[in-house]
């Protein structure tokens, strides 16, 4: 029996993947566990291992071809075996560069992803043909995601309005993680209404608190009680107070999440990945510290399982190590909020009783999606984060 | 002038006026006269058919023209076909359309073929009145809707009126027609009242009626299903969906022009037919529209029919059997949902 190599499903949100490159040719012998190809999803790249010993009999999906998760991309067996027709996907021509670009544009589509077939009603097809519209660029809103007459007519309008914006070539000429990032960042800016708020928090008490804690906890602290950990805790507490910010919005679906999963942006050689602190709301400060330390080192050494790289509900991006103060982080869609963290600065300030004191200030930049939350709410949320940072004993509860 | 009369009275009036205009028109069937005009019975037994639709006619036209027959559908339907072939214009009453089996030899094998097989030398000006439809808790043998069966026979016309005005005009037109016309009366509509002209008039056979014009979605109905469609249209109007409702009126030959023009306009079609779901009028309309209006379709054609079972006796099950607005919203959701959004 020949065994199919399947497009893996990496995380709950992945519906389809792209075969980036094959390391084996048809006819090559492979051992179970050998890496046969690399695939990419919207969020990450992943090496696919051979499920059995044998010969790579057939490659169903060529490089750059896209296919839904759990569909066969190739098959392994003995030389004498015939590749069963049934095991091959119905059809999956390798996509052209043009089609890939288009895919970027329609990622918001709720369309039935049944192996790339586009459903369109007869009248819609006729009108599209009459007006010279390439209907593969239209998002269907009818039953089964089919394109209806209204969709074609509305498309004509939006094309006129957004002709400048539709010039997308995100990811063109790039490969691997770089391409994924290019698509995602471009997509984020296209699909959301991003606004960034800036303010600083007085973290002098926090720094004192941190020094105290480190000294007193000693060996009981297995991770680093870094500024990232304290920030993550402050963000978690603020998200509990403002559940509206722990949400996602994409494909016409607005979901406020119950669980809090914090993404921590980490720069690596190839680009940027965002490991996720799962269920961060139920972790104590020490547990959080341990978790973040492992995640970040895992991210840098590429040893994190794909599950730990997906599913965040809010992201923190820290550029403080490079002396950056304020910046405008881009939303990690479909999340609706991301907190940018800058470098702590020492300033002279007046204390409560008008004495000049040294104050440590942390610049914070909150980007939010104005489609689903307004500036006032986002401002209160940012203020809430500052309150927790400025009153660090609150972080313990 | 117009006044309001019931569906049943409108049918009675059509027979009355047709009999008055043309002495060749005769009625026959089980109890169509009842005890009327028989001395020892007086008018006590004068039912005028099982629902009383022919009541009063025997007194006016006598037993020679309003004939009570034995309980033998095969017998009197054969007599009616023979009478039609030889010069009368009979209007037999088949008490329930579920009894049509007895009549197939005379109607299908003989009556429907005579004009064709005799090279046009014979005419069969026969109007068979019969009653159909679920909703009266009359059980499986008295509640079916079999107009589709008859509508598939060449040489037979089939009409299904939905309201008193059409009932009167269509019955007059049927009696004037030189072919076999099956006239289907929904027993649950007998009581509805509407303005109906007193004078004689006809309604064209083979012409559907646009009961409500609309631009987003076409719903075609047969008989009382019209009222289901009007309810659906009213509910959707609140969501900004403009529904066109068409009463088919004639099942055979049905009005392709009106329906295809409507679908060309709206692109979307729902057909509501109380008949069982396979090989019925709805499936026929669906196949013709899919063929002739293919390039205009903006979604699948939805047929909302009764289930593939006999009509249940229990009234709660019977209500589930009859297509209603909820069933339309449920089964045709993919045709409706996106219209609401836009």
CB within 8 Å: B295 and A121: no
Long-range pairs of A136-139 with CB within 8 A, sequence gap ≥ 24: A136/A99, A136/A102, A137/A102, A137/A105, A137/A106, A139/A106, A139/A108, A139/A109, A139/A110, A139/A111
Looking at residue A113, its pLDDT comes to: 44
- DSSP string spanning B225-247? HHHHHHHHHHHHHTTT--EEEEE
Helix or strand (DSSP H, E) at A271: strand A271-273
Q: Residue ranges of the alpha helices (H) in B200-308?
A: 225-237, 256-266, 281-292
Strand B156-159 with B250-252, pairing: antiparallel
Q: Which candidate, A199, A216, A256, places its Cα nearest to that of A396? A: A216
B192 and B213 part of one domain: no
For the stretch B249-285, pLDDT in tens is 999 999 999 999 999 999 999 999 999 999 999 999 9
CB within 8 Å: A123 and B296: yes
Structure tokens at A89: 């996907």
Active site residue B142: yes
In a domain, B323, yes or no: yes
What is the DSSP secondary structure assignment for residue A75, as one 8-state letter? Answer: E
- CATH number for the domain harbouring residue A77: 2.40.50.100
**What is the C-alpha to C-alpha distance for residues A371 and A165, in angstroms, rounded to an integer?**
18
Looking at residue A91, its pLDDT comes to: 43
CA atoms within 13 A on the CB side of B110: 17
Residue B74: φ, ψ to 5°: -65, -40
Task: Please identify, among A67, A87, A107, the residue that sits at the C-terminal boundary of a domain.
Answer: A87
Cβ-contact A115, A127 below 8 angstroms: no
Question: CA of A140 to nearest chain B CA: how many angstroms apart?
Answer: 10
- Which residue out of A110, A112, A147, A148 would a mutagenesis test of the B interface target, given it has the greatest number of B Cβ atoms within 10 Å? A148
CB within 8 Å: B338 and A154: no
Residue of A nearest to B338 (CA): A142
CB within 8 Å: B295 and A148: no
Residue of B nearest to A144 (CA): B334
Helix or strand (DSSP H, E) at A153: helix A149-161
For the stretch B145-176, pLDDT in tens is 999 999 999 999 999 999 999 999 999 999 99
In a domain, B202, yes or no: no
Task: Please identify, among B197, B217, B234, the residue that sits at the C-terminal boundary of a domain.
Answer: B197
**What is the C-alpha to C-alpha distance for residues B74 and B328, in angstroms, rounded to an integer?**
39
In a domain, A374, yes or no: yes
- CATH number for the domain harbouring residue A156: 4.10.320.10
**What is the C-alpha to C-alpha distance for residues A79 and A371, in angstroms, rounded to an integer?**
56
B57 and B24 part of one domain: yes
Mean pLDDT in residue range B88-115: 96
Task: Please identify, among B197, B231, B249, the residue that sits at the C-terminal boundary of a domain.
Answer: B197
A271 and A350 part of one domain: yes
Residue of A nearest to B341 (CA): A141
**C-alpha of B13 from chain center:** 17
In a domain, A235, yes or no: yes
Q: Which residues of B touch A143 (CB under 8 A)?
A: 299-300, 333-335, 337-338
Q: Which residues of B touch A142 (CB under 8 A)?
A: 298-299, 334, 338
Q: Which candidate, B214, B289, B298, places its Cα nearest to that of A142? A: B298
B94 and B132 part of one domain: yes
Task: Kindly report which listed range (A274-283, B4-13, B127-136, B160-169) carries the lowest average pLDDT score.
Answer: A274-283
Looking at residue A215, its pLDDT comes to: 83
Task: Please identify, among B172, B197, B222, the residue that sits at the C-terminal boundary of a domain.
Answer: B197
CB within 8 Å: B341 and A149: no
B193 and B216 part of one domain: no
Q: Which residues of A touch B267 (CB under 8 A)?
A: 121, 123, 148-149
B219 and B190 part of one domain: no
Q: How many domains does chain A have?
A: 3
A118 and A9 part of one domain: no
Question: CA of A141 to nearest chain B CA: how many angstroms apart?
Answer: 6
CB within 8 Å: B342 and A154: yes
Structure tokens at B280: 């019925």
Which residue among the candidates B40, B132, B142, B278 is catalytic per the annotation?
B142
Q: Which residue has the tokens 């009275």?
A: B9
Neighbours of B206 (CB within 10 A): 15
For the stretch B39-54, pLDDT in tens is 766 655 567 888 999 9
Helix or strand (DSSP H, E) at A382: helix A375-390
**C-alpha of A204 from chain center:** 33
Looking at residue A92, its pLDDT comes to: 43
Q: Which residue has the tokens 């939006």?
A: A158
Between A and B, how many CB-CB pairs are < 8 A? 44
Structure tokens at B61: 């036209």
Looking at residue A34, its pLDDT comes to: 87
CB within 8 Å: B334 and A123: no
- Which residue out of B266, B290, B298 would a mutagenesis test of the A interface target, given it has the greatest number of A Cβ atoms within 10 Å? B298
B227 and B279 part of one domain: yes
Q: b/e for B105-130, b at 16 or more Cβ within 10 A? A: ebbbebbbbbbeeeeeeebbbbbbbb
In a domain, B35, yes or no: yes
**What is the C-alpha to C-alpha distance for residues A269 and A252, in angstroms, rounded to an integer?**
35
Residue of A nearest to B299 (CA): A121
Q: Which of A122, A144, A150 sits opposite B342 (nearest CB)?
A: A150
In a domain, B297, yes or no: yes
First to last CA, chain B: 46
**What is the C-alpha to C-alpha distance for residues B180 and B174, in angstroms, rounded to an integer?**
8
Q: Which of B297, B333, B338 sits opposite A122 (nearest CB)?
A: B297
Structure tokens at B38: 């028989």
B79 pLDDT more than 50: yes
What is the ipTM, given to two decimal places?
0.70
**C-alpha distance from residue A369 to each of A194, A195, A333, B178 (Å):** 5, 7, 9, 74
A154 and A78 part of one domain: no
Helix or strand (DSSP H, E) at A361: strand A356-369
Structure tokens at A35: 């890496």
B125 and B182 part of one domain: yes
Q: Residue B337, SS3?
A: helix
Mean pLDDT in residue range B308-313: 97
**A142 or B310, greater pLDDT:** B310
Q: Residue A123, SS3?
A: helix
Looking at residue A85, its pLDDT comes to: 44
Looking at residue A83, its pLDDT comes to: 61
Structure tokens at A182: 């290019």
Looking at residue A196, its pLDDT comes to: 94
Q: Which candidate, B211, B54, B224, places its Cα nearest to that of B127? A: B54
Task: Please identify, among A87, A115, A134, the residue that sits at the C-terminal boundary of a domain.
Answer: A87
Question: CA of B293 to nearest chain A CA: how many angstroms apart?
Answer: 9
A350 and A210 part of one domain: yes
A71 and A111 part of one domain: no
Question: CA of B209 to nearest chain A CA: how many angstroms apart?
Answer: 25
Residue of B nearest to A126 (CA): B295
Cβ-contact A327, A307 below 8 angstroms: no
CB within 8 Å: A148 and B335: no
A331 and A293 part of one domain: yes
B128 pLDDT more than 80: yes
Task: Please identify, among A39, A59, A87, the residue that sits at the C-terminal boundary of a domain.
Answer: A87
CB within 8 Å: A141 and B296: no
CB within 8 Å: B299 and A144: no
Looking at residue A101, its pLDDT comes to: 40
B103 and B223 part of one domain: no
Q: How many domains does chain B have?
A: 2
A310 and A171 part of one domain: no
- CATH number for the domain harbouring residue B28: 3.40.50.970
Residue of B nearest to A148 (CA): B298
Question: CA of A145 to nearest chain B CA: how many angstroms apart?
Answer: 10
Q: Residue B146, SS3?
A: coil
- CB contact set of B276 (below 8 Å; sequence gap of 6+): B144, B305, B306, B307, B308, B309
Task: Kindly report which listed range (A182-196, A361-375, B129-143, B288-302) carries the lowest average pLDDT score.
Answer: A182-196
Rg (CA), chain A: 25
Q: Which domain holds residue B142?
A: 2-197
A222 and A255 part of one domain: yes
Residues in A whose CB is inside 8 Å of some CB of B read 121-124, 126, 141-144, 146, 148-150, 154
CB within 8 Å: B298 and A154: no
Neighbours of B279 (CB within 10 A): 12
In a domain, A181, yes or no: no
For the stretch B223-242, pLDDT in tens is 999 999 999 999 999 999 99
Residue of B nearest to A119 (CA): B299
- DSSP string spanning A300-338? HTT---GGGGS--SEEEEE-GGGT-----PPP-TTBSEE
Q: b/e for A253-273, b at 16 or more Cβ within 10 A? A: eeeebeebbbbbbbeeeeebb
Q: Which domain holds residue A11?
A: 3-87
Question: CA of B330 to nearest chain A CA: how many angstroms apart?
Answer: 13
B28 and B152 part of one domain: yes
B239 and B308 part of one domain: yes
Q: Which candidate, A121, A243, A206, A167, places its Cα nearest to that of A389? A: A206
Residues in B whose CB is inside 8 Å of some CB of A read 267, 294-300, 333-335, 337-339, 341-342
Whether cis (ω within 30° of 0) applies to the bond prior to B253 is yes
Active site residue A257: no
A363 and A222 part of one domain: yes
- CATH number for the domain harbouring residue B328: 3.40.50.920
CB within 8 Å: A126 and B295: yes
Mean pLDDT in residue range B46-72: 90
In a domain, A139, yes or no: yes
Number of continuous H segments (helices) and E segments (strands) in chain B: 13, 14
Q: Residue A102, SS3?
A: helix
B184 and B141 part of one domain: yes
Question: CA of B333 to nearest chain A CA: how many angstroms apart?
Answer: 8
Number of continuous H segments (helices) and E segments (strands) in chain A: 8, 19
A81 and A117 part of one domain: no
Q: Which residues of chain A carry a pLDDT beneath 50?
A: 85-115, 163-167
A172 and A202 part of one domain: no
């Amino acid at each position: 029996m020949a065994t199919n190599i399947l497009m893996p499903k990496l995380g709950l949100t992945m519906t389809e993947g792209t075969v980036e490159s094959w390391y084996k040719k048809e006819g090559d012998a492979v051992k179970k566990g050998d890496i046969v190809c690399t695939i990419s999803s919207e969020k990450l790249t992943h090496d696919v291992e051979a499920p059995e010993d044998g010969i790579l009999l057939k490659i169903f999906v060529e490089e750059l071809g896209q296919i839904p998760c759990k569909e066969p991309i190739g098959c392994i067996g003995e030389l004498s075996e015939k590749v069963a027709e049934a095991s091959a996907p119905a059809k999956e021509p390798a996509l052209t560069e043009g089609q890939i670009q288009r895919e970027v544009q329609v990622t918001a589509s709720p369309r039935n992803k049944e192996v790339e077939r586009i459903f369109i009603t007869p009248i819609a097809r006729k009108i599209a043909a009459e007006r010279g519209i390439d209907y593969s660029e239209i998002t269907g809103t009818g039953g089964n995601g089919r394109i209806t007459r209204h969709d074609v007519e509305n498309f004509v309008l939006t094309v006129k309005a957004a002709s400048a914006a539709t010039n997308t070539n995100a990811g063109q000429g790039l490969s691997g993680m770089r391409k994924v990032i290019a698509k995602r960042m471009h997509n984020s800016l296209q699909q959301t209404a991003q606004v960034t708020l800036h303010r600083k928090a007085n973290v002098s008490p926090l720094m004192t608190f941190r020094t105290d804690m480190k000294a007193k906890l000693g060996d009981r602290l297995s991770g680093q009680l870094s500024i990232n950990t304290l920030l993550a805790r402050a963000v978690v507490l603020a998200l509990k107070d403002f559940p509206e910010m722990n949400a996602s919005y994409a494909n016409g679906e607005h979901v406020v999440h119950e669980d809090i999963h914090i993404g921590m942006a980490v720069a690596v050689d190839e680009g940027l990945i965002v490991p996720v602190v799962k269920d961060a709301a139920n972790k104590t400060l020490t547990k959080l510290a341990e978790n973040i330390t492992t995640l970040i080192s895992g991210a840098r050494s590429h040893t994190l399982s794909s599950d730990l790289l997906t599913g965040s509900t809010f992201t923190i991006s820290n550029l403080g190590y490079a002396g950056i103060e304020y910046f405008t982080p881009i939303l990690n869609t479909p999340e609706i909020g991301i907190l940018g963290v800058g470098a702590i600065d020492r300033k002279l300030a007046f204390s409560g009783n008008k004495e000049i004191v040294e104050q440590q200030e942390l610049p914070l930049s909150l980007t939010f999606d104005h489609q689903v939350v307004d500036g006032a709410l986002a401002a209160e949320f940012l203020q809430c984060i500052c309150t927790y940072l400025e009153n660090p004993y609150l972080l313990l509860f | 002038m117009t006044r309001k009369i019931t569906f049943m009275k409108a049918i009675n009036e059509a027979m009355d006026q047709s009999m008055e205009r043309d002495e060749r028109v005769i009625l026959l069937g089980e109890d169509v006269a009842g005890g009327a005009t028989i001395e020892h019975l007086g008018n006590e037994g004068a039912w005028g058919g099982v629902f009383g639709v022919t009541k009063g006619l025997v007194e006016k036209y006598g037993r020679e023209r309003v004939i009570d027959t034995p309980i033998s559908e095969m017998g009197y339907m054969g007599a009616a076909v023979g009478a039609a072939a030889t010069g009368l214009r009979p209007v037999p009453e088949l008490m329930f359309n579920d009894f049509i089996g007895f009549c197939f030899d005379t109607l299908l094998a003989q009556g429907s073929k005579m004009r064709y097989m005799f090279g046009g030398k014979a005419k069969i000006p026969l109007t068979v009145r019969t009653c159909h439809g679920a909703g009266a808790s009359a059980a499986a043998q008295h509640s079916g809707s079999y107009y589709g069966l008859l509508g598939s026979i060449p040489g037979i016309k089939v009409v299904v009126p939905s309201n008193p005005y059409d009932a009167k005009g269509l019955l007059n037109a049927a009696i004037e027609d030189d072919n076999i016309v099956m006239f289907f009366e929904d027993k649950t509509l007998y009581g509805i009242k509407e303005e109906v002209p007193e004078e004689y008039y006809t309604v064209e056979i083979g012409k559907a009626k646009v009961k409500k014009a609309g631009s987003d979605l076409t719903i075609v109905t047969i008989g009382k299903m019209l009222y289901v469609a009007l309810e659906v249209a009213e509910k959707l109007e609140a969501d900004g969906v403009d529904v066109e409702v068409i009463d088919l009126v004639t099942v055979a030959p049905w009005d392709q022009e009106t329906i295809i023009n409507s679908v060309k306009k709206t692109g979307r079609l729902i057909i509501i037919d109380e008949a069982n779901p396979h090989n019925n009028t709805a499936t026929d309309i669906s196949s013709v529209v899919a063929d002739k209006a293919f390039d205009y379709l903006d979604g699948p054609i939805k047929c909302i029919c009764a289930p593939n079972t006999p009509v249940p006796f229990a009234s709660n099950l019977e209500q589930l059997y009859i297509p209603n607005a909820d069933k339309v919203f449920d089964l045709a959701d993919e045709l409706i949902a996106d219209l609401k959004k836009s």
